[in-house]
């Protein structure tokens, strides 16, 4: 990753206002937590760097101050369950002043709010432990009451009594979930007491650096979700991740209220190969090999990552709540994953041949699966003539498929999170004569055009590109170019929408990762936020409201600039309606397509529920109803495929897509891949029919 030269440190004063210093008096063990000189300098540098180098360069003014304030409150109290309305009324006087505080290096308001948060959190944990000491059987589960679970826009609690009632209900909900999951009262009580005591003990470990990082990130992330401040410790962890010198499980994680959520799996990484983890799964516990499971609910993301990371070859056990569960169903399962490095050869492009009957004969279609856009930089720079790269491997595979006389090619980019921009450009060059491949607009408005300058097209035959929500970044650049040049049919799901470029800027204290450029397709459309919209869409495999750029707060918008190529006649457009009609007719009863649609529909219905009953009989009935619906969806698929029906949903079935790429399965068994091949064959026959007329 390119690193900008460090900016010159500029002059500053430590002139913190006496009135604000006087307002920091929240009693407790945290009074000693104060901003230091290095943090003040770093904050001033962050302000200046964002002003000079961020792509959109929005002004740091009163409107930005309100965003910072709201962002900070959301980071500290996302469910509005710690602060009271009186706390918020007190903080509100600063609502439009955070721009002034940051410009002057005054960090005290940020520290004051955080320390109040620590005080309120300690009060809540003490209160909850007090309830637990009375025993979980003291709850009346026959009482007809409910809990609001979607509290993002709930009013702030008017007083301590209201918070007490909210936390009593929250605890009752936790106990009820565990009872329904089959845990005994004694085990529930022990687990929850341990969880809350651990959280209370960890509050005392809070450092000034924790406060500074949270506050500056609340500021930085109002610009866009990929602009982050990294503390010195986290900057070191980031460098470790980039060099892969310490092993993990190959999963991209993010904070999700009190949980840590899986965003995507690294292709050919340990988690992806295990088939036990999926996007939107929540990690609630981490254990080393056969060691004790550590409850990580309420932990910071960086602390959870440290637990998951470890020596190559060692085993980490994760307790997860599968993504397919109802919002308040915390039925969990434990998965074991062996840590290892992601090997370049395992990410290499692979080929297979899809044989499909169509209009009285069997056709052969070449499939090239590209898990990532890789380039062996070390071998490339050393001048090794046999260095590995995506383009080189795909070129070789295309040559082999040509020799097998395939009738067309499908490029499979599902779950490809990106990689080398150079490779996305060079791969595009295999399928077009020559011309622009992607545009990069910088923060000064300059547009750089990356292009394939080699004349000639390596593969001229018919093509389809298969994408899904987890196809991101370089994948979107390649798919977008294929669509804009009308070189291939784009089929599948709307892609991730990551169309921005980041760089790392070293600071005197930590580092700043900031967005300084944006990708645009040769048609002038951004890949940001919207991603690539397929010509023919498949049902979503993951909920796009949960996963994708548009699901992130403050995501930069989609826009467009002047195109780099003149639009040519689109050979697909006249045939799209007929292709869609045939696709719809085929998949209306296809068991795998029906399964995916029904499963996501149920998940979205469950996500609409904003309250849950705390009455045990009602809750058990609801839980049973959800399980029955999930079982019916699974059995509908099994019946249509002639498989044995289940009487109970097995744990491994709860979160398994029907399209999992089992190595023993043939490409024809992959419903989405096979349907992509059929659409391509439909296109070939329709094109031939049009040509005859």
Beta bridge partners of 436: 451
Question: Do residues 325 and 331 make contact, with C-beta atoms less than 8 angstroms apart?
Answer: yes
Which phi-psi region, left, alpha or beta, contains residue 473 (left: φ > 0; alpha: ψ -120 to 50)? left
What pLDDT, on the 0 to 100 scale, is given for residue 329?
66
- pLDDT tens for residues 146-178? 999 999 999 999 999 999 999 999 999 999 999
**Sign of the dihedral through C-alpha 684, 689, 692, 693:** negative
Inter-residue contact 272 to 266 (CB < 8 Å) = yes
Lowest-pLDDT choice from 311-320, 323-332, 510-519:
323-332
**Which is it for the CA torsion 497, 503, 505, 509, positive or negative?**
positive
Domain 347-594+666-689 has what CATH class? alpha beta
445 close to 456: Cβ distance less than 8 angstroms: no
pLDDT given for residue 655 in this prediction: 44
484 is catalytic: yes
Inter-CA distances, 197 with 188, 191, 204, 334, Å? 14, 10, 11, 23
Question: Which residues, 6 or more positions from 427, have their beta carbon under 8 angstroms from its beta carbon?
Answer: 370, 373, 390, 391, 394, 478
Q: Are 522 and 563 in contact (CB under 8 A)?
A: yes
What residue spans define the domains of the chain? 35-222, 244-342, 347-594+666-689
Per-residue pLDDT, 226: 94
**Mean local confidence (pLDDT), 176-203:** 92
CB 493 within 8 A of CB 473: no
Half-sphere exposure (CA, 13 Å, Cβ side) for 305?
Answer: 19
Between 490 and 568, where is the model more confident?
A: 490
Q: Is 529 a residue whose pLDDT tops 90?
A: yes
Average pLDDT over residues 416-435: 94
What percent of the chain is predicted at pLDDT more than 90?
70
Q: What is the pLDDT of residue 4?
A: 36
Catalytic residue selected from 87, 224, 452, 484: 484
User: What is the spatial distance between Cα 549 and Cα 490, in angstroms, rounded to a whole number?
Assistant: 20
For the record, the structure tokens of 10 come out as 């500029």
Task: Note the pLDDT of residue 235.
Answer: 64
**pLDDT at position 115:** 97
What angle in degrees, to the nearest 10, is found between the helix axes of 108-133 and 62-76? 20
The Cα–Cα gap between 217 and 230 comes to 8
Cα angle 501, 505, 510; round to 5: 125
The CB-side HSE value for 383 (13 A sphere, CA atoms) comes to 0
Q: Which CATH superfamily is domain 244-342 in?
A: PDZ domain (2.30.42.10)
Q: For residue 237, name the pLDDT band (cuts at 50, 70, 90).
A: low
pLDDT band at residue 250 using 50, 70 and 90 as cut-offs: confident
Q: How far is CA 25 from the centre of its chain?
A: 39
Strand, helix or coil for residue 321: strand
Task: Look at residue 16 in the predicted model and tell me its pLDDT.
Answer: 34
Integer Cα distance of 110 and 121 in angstroms: 17
**Could you give the CA distance from residue 193 to residue 609 in angstroms, rounded to a whole number?**
28
Catalytically annotated residue among 65, 104, 332, 473:
473
Burial of 138 (0-12, 13-18, 19+ CB in 10 A): exposed
Tell me if 300 sits within 8 A of 294, measured CB to CB.
no
pLDDT of amino acid 689:
85
| Average pLDDT value for residue range 507-512 | 95
Is the C-alpha dihedral spanning 140, 142, 143, 144 positive or negative? positive
- The pLDDT of residue 2 is 37
Mean pLDDT (whole number) for 625-632: 92
Q: State in Å, rounded, how far the first CA of the chain is from the last one.
A: 54
pLDDT tens profile 195-207: 999 999 989 889 9
CA atoms within 13 A on the CB side of 29: 10
Nearest by Cα to 675 from 373, 412, 292, 380: 412
CA–CA separation, 488 vs 480, rounded Å?
10
Round to whole Å and give the CA distance between 64 and 218. 11
Give the number of other CB atoms < 10 A from CB of residue 437.
27
User: Where residue 9 falls among pLDDT bands split at 50, 70, 90?
Assistant: very low
The predicted structure's pLDDT at residue 25: 35
Q: Tell me the chain's radius of gyration from C-alpha atoms.
A: 27
Q: What is the C-alpha separation between 530 and 533, in angstroms, rounded?
A: 8
Average pLDDT value for residue range 481-508: 96
Higher pLDDT, 654 or 352: 352
Q: What is the mean pLDDT of the chain?
A: 89
pLDDT greater than 50 at residue 277: yes
| Annotated catalytic residue, options 498, 543, 670, 682 | 498
| Residue 193 CB neighbours (<10 A) | 15
pLDDT digits (tens, 9 = 90+) for 426-468: 999 999 999 999 999 999 999 999 999 988 999 999 999 999 9
* Nearest Cα residue to 591 out of 645, 545, 543, 544: 645
Give the pLDDT confidence score for residue 411 in this predicted structure.
98
Mean pLDDT across the stretch 109-135?
A: 97
Q: Is the pLDDT confidence value at 331 over 50?
A: yes
**pTM, whole model, 2 decimals?**
0.87
The lowest-confidence range among 21-30, 512-521, 557-566 is 21-30
More confident residue, 166 or 387: 166
Indicate the pLDDT class of residue 662, thresholds 50, 70 and 90: low
User: According to the model, what pLDDT value does residue 333 have?
Assistant: 87
123-128 own/partner pairs: CB under 8 Å, 24+ apart: 123/160, 124/81, 124/82, 124/163, 124/167, 125/196, 125/199, 125/200, 125/203, 126/200, 127/164, 127/167, 128/167, 128/170, 128/171, 128/192, 128/196
Calpha distance 79→161 (Å, rounded): 17
pLDDT-based confidence at residue 650 (cuts at 50, 70, 90): low
How many other C-beta atoms are found inside a 10 Å radius of the C-beta of residue 242? Answer: 10
Give the number of other CB atoms < 10 A from CB of residue 371. 24
Q: For this structure, is 26 an active site residue?
A: no
More confident residue, 672 or 280: 672
Q: How many residues does the chain have?
A: 693
| 98, 4 Cβ separation under 8 angstroms | no
Summarize the confidence of residues 113-132 as an average pLDDT.
97
Is 314 assigned a catalytic role?
Answer: no
Q: Binning pLDDT at 50, 70 and 90, where does residue 384 land?
A: confident
Q: Exposure of 38 by Cβ count < 10 A (0-12 exposed, 13-18 middle, 19+ buried)?
A: middle
Per-residue pLDDT for 343 more than 50? yes
Q: What is the largest CA-CA distance in the chain?
A: 86
């Amino acid at each position: 990753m390119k690193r900008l030269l460090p900016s010159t440190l500029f002059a500053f004063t430590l002139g913190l206002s006496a009135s604000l210093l006087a307002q920091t008096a929240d009693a407790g063990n945290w009074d000693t937590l104060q901003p230091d000189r290095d943090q003040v300098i770093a904050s001033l540098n962050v302000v200046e760097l964002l002003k000079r180098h961020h792509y959109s360069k929005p002004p740091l003014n009163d409107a930005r101050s309100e965003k910072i304030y709201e962002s900070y409150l959301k980071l500290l109290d996302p469910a509005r369950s710690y602060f009271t309305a009186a706390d918020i009324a007190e903080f509100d006087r600063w609502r439009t002043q955070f721009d002034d505080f940051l410009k002057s290096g005054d960090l005290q308001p940020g520290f004051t709010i955080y320390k109040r948060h620590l005080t309120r959190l300690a009060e809540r944990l003490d209160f909850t432990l007090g309830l637990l000491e009375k025993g979980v059987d003291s709850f009346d589960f026959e009482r007809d009451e409910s809990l609001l679970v979607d509290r993002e826009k709930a009013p702030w609690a008017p007083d301590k009594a209201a918070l007490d009632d909210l936390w009593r209900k929250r605890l009752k909900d936790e106990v009820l979930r565990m009872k329904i999951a089959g845990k005994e009262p004694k085990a529930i009580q022990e687990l929850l007491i341990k969880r809350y005591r651990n959280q209370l003990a960890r509050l005392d470990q809070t450092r000034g650096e924790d406060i500074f990082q949270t506050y500056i990130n609340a500021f930085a992330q109002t610009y866009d979700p990929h602009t982050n401040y990294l503390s010195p410790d986290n900057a070191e962890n980031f460098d470790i991740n980039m060099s892969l010198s310490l092993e993990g499980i190959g999963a991209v994680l993010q904070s999700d209220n009190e949980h840590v959520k899986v965003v995507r799996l690294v292709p050919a990484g340990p988690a992806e190969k295990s088939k036990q983890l999926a996007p939107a799964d929540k990690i609630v516990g981490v254990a080393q090999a056969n060691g004790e499971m550590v409850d990580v609910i309420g932990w910071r993301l960086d602390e959870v990552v440290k637990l998951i990371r470890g020596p190559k070859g060692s085993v980490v056990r994760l307790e997860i709540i599968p993504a397919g569960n109802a919002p308040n169903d915390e039925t969990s399962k434990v998965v074991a994953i062996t840590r290892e490095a992601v090997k370049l050869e395992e990410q290499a492009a692979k080929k297979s041949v899809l044989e499909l009957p169509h209009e009285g004969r069997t056709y052969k279609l070449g499939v090239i699966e590209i898990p990532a856009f890789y380039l062996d930089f070390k071998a490339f720079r050393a001048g090794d003539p046999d260095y590995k790269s995506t383009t080189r491997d795909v070129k070789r595979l295309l040559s082999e498929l040509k020799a097998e006389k395939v009738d067309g090619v499908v490029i499979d980019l599902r779950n490809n999170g990106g990689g080398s921009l150079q490779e996305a450009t060079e791969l595009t060059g295999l399928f077009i004569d020559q011309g622009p491949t992607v545009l990069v607009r910088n923060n000064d408005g300059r547009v750089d055009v990356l292009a394939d300058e080699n004349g000639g097209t390596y593969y001229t035959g018919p093509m389809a590109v298969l994408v899904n929500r987890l196809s991101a970044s370089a994948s979107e650049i390649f798919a977008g170019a294929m669509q804009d040049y009308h070189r291939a049919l784009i089929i599948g799901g709307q892609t991730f929408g990551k169309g921005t470029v980041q760089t790392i800027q070293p600071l005197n204290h930590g580092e700043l990762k900031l967005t300084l450029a944006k990708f645009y397709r040769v048609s002038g459309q951004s890949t940001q936020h919207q991603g690539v919209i397929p010509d023919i869409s498949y049902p979503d495999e993951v909920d796009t409201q949960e996963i994708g750029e548009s699901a992130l707060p403050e995501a930069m918008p989609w826009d467009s600039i002047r195109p780099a190529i003149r639009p040519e006649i689109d050979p697909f457009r006249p045939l799209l309606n007929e292709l869609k009609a045939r696709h719809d007719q085929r998949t209306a009863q296809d068991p795998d397509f029906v399964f995916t649609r029904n499963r996501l529909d149920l998940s979205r219905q469950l996500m609409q529920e904003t309250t849950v009953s705390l009455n045990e009989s009602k809750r058990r009935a609801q839980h049973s109803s959800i399980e029955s619906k999930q079982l019916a969806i699974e059995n509908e698929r099994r019946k249509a495929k002639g498989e044995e029906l289940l009487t109970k949903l097995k744990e491994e079935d709860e979160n398994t897509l029907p399209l999992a790429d089992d190595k023993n399965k043939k490409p024809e068994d992959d419903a989405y891949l096979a349907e992509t091949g059929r659409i391509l064959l439909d296109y070939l026959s329709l094109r031939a029919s049009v040509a005859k007329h």
